[in-house]
Amino acid sequence: MTAGTLDGPANDLPAESPGGPDAAPRPVHDVDLVIVGAGPAGLYGAYYAGFRGMSVALIDSLPEPGGQVAALYPEKDIFDIAGYPAVKGQALVDALVAQAGQAEPLYLLGESALELRHDAESVEVVTDAGTRVRAKALLLTGGIGTFTPRELPAGGEYLGRGLRYFVRKLDELAGQDVVVVGGGDSAVDWALALEPIARSLTLVHRRDAFRAHEHSVARLQASSVRVLTPFEVAGIAGDDRIAEVTVERVRSGERVTLPAQTVVAALGFIADLGPVQKWGLDLRKRHVLVDRSMRTNLERVFAAGDISDYDGKVRLISVGFGEAAAAVNNLAPLVNPAFGTVPGHSSDAS
């Protein structure tokens, strides 16, 4: 990974692919705005850039748009989107993709942004597939970066045989005895979502207090979900697949054995910004610092959504939408001085 100016000798990119001079040339795309991260904020940013008259390319390491929402939580209800009392993750992503489609973005999916070059006039991003994208500005909406689940300390050998770290399709667990492990939003939301269709549902958390949203915790406490706190998983047993889970009360050692065909370990994820960390951006705890215009310390580079940080930051999808719109409006004059920062009202557009 390298970062630097576009015109320095050390930053010259070879015209051919890494395979050598006889390999196929690297694809090169020229757009007004390149967005790294095709999650909700990136998709909305693509739509808004199109609304402002820009051409857009979207780069994401995942094979489909939607980011973490589509990859991990497609059937979870999301409650913080304006205009929706609740909306399933995949339904939200589908709507955002349709909205972004108005901008006719170039999708570069299954490719990771590897290198960044920038100067006073433009930016260039090179992916791990050798694709080059030249643009007038860059908007980072990469969420938490790449993410891997925190492993359950006991029973890892049952991964794929009853142990899972997320639930893409709720119906797969219908009629089963399910144990959900964790105390955050994902654990509580999955427990509530699975309660109506599971034969039995137990939530195990090693602390008495939950990290989930207060409203969700209140719903959990009013539900039929069996809540065991402060307990942690001591062992998992079964022949080919999980048959039972033993949990142990923290400190006292009291043990309870639960029937289970599925254990959902919702213990959070380990995030990694990957090559972005080496681009020379000002970072704070793996987040990119921005000012009120969503501008980073690098020329023509902006950030929005979960990847961005500033004093008073609130990490909600709905906030990410506003940040993406703010970033696009503030970078608009860099794309074309005639654009201006103030967009006018969308209802005025014909």
Q: Which CATH number fits domain 3-147+270-348: 3.40.190.10, 3.50.50.60, 3.40.50.1820, 3.40.50.150?
A: 3.50.50.60
What is the largest distance, in Å, between two alpha-carbon atoms of the chain?
70
Q: Is 269 annotated as a binding residue?
A: no
Q: Answer for the pair 335, 136: CB distance below 8 angstroms, yes or no.
A: yes
Q: Is 23 annotated as a binding residue?
A: no
Domains 3-147+270-348 and 151-267 equal at CATH topology level: yes
Q: Is 147 annotated as a binding residue?
A: yes
Q: Is 102 annotated as a binding residue?
A: no
Q: Is 306 annotated as a binding residue?
A: yes
Both structure tokens of 21: 């001079």
- pLDDT at residue number 193: 92
With a CB cutoff of 8 Å and minimum separation 6, the contacts of 237 are: 243, 244, 245, 246
> Is-cis flag, bond preceding 275, omega within 30?
no
Q: Is 208 annotated as a binding residue?
A: no
Our measurement of the distance from residue 36's CA atom to the centroid of its chain's CA atoms, rounded to an integer in Å, reads 12
- pLDDT at residue number 120: 86
Phi, psi of 37 (to 5 degrees): 120, 110
pLDDT tens column, 297-319: 999 999 999 999 999 999 999 99
Taking 50 as the pLDDT cut, the residues of the chain under it are: 1-21
All structural domains of the chain with their residue ranges: 3-147+270-348, 151-267
Q: Is 113 annotated as a binding residue?
A: yes
Give the pairing of strands 33-36 and 308-309: unpaired
- pLDDT at residue number 13: 34
Looking at the structure, give the CATH architecture of the domain made up of residues 151-267: 3-Layer(bba) Sandwich (3.50)
- DSSP 8-class letter at 144: T
Give the pairing of strands 28-30 and 132-135: parallel
DSSP helix/strand/coil, 229: coil
pLDDT tens column, 55-96: 999 999 888 999 888 877 788 888 889 999 999 999 999 999
Burial tier of 314 (Cβ tally within 10 Å: 0-12, 13-18, 19+): exposed
